Amino acid sequence: ANFSDQVVESFPSDISTGIYYGWACVGNGDVHKMVLSVGWNPLYKNIKKSVETHIIHTFKDDFYGEILSIVIIGYIRSEKNFSSLGALISAIQEDIEEAKRQLDLPEHLKLKEDNFFHLPEG
């Protein structure tokens, strides 16, 4: 799930590029583990900074137009370039496994239940 340019531009300017982990919720649905990439995606030579959320869950349907709420809990690694798509995919899988380990810690699990994820009706 990619955030719009407007949302990316509203992120704190001093946030480091790299890979983060935390919790994500689509609309008023369940809260799931996520990995977040903030940066330029050097392999693809992007000219605009992007913020891309990988929710660690398989959804039945797409969720275009829904509100995506995230809480960033921790930092995994800095952004880097990769020599191939295969190397990038391997790093993403390692990032996902690290996020799962971190988010299973009691101090991180409790944040999954935060009221932040409950949108007001309407």
User: What pLDDT score was predicted for residue 5?
Assistant: 85
Ramachandran area for residue 75 (φ above 0: left; ψ -120 to 50: alpha; else beta): beta
pTM over 0.85: yes
pLDDT at 44 over 80: no
14, pLDDT greater than 60: yes
pLDDT at 118 over 60: yes
List the chain domain ranges. 5-116
pLDDT at 54: 95
What is the CATH architecture assignment of 5-116? Answer: Beta Barrel (2.40)
- Burial call 91-120: b when 16+ CB within 10 Å, e when fewer: eeeebbebbeebbeeeebeeebeeeebeee
Short-list 20, 19, 38, 34, CA closest to 100? 34
**38 CB-side CA count, 13 A:** 21
pLDDT digits (tens, 9 = 90+) for 80-106: 888 888 988 999 999 999 999 999 999
Is 52 marked active-site? yes
| pLDDT (tens digit per residue) in 71-82 | 999 999 998 888
Q: Which residue of the set 52, 66, 79, 113 is catalytic?
A: 52
Please state the rounded mean pLDDT for residues 24-47.
84
Instruction: Give the chain's mean pLDDT.
Output: 89
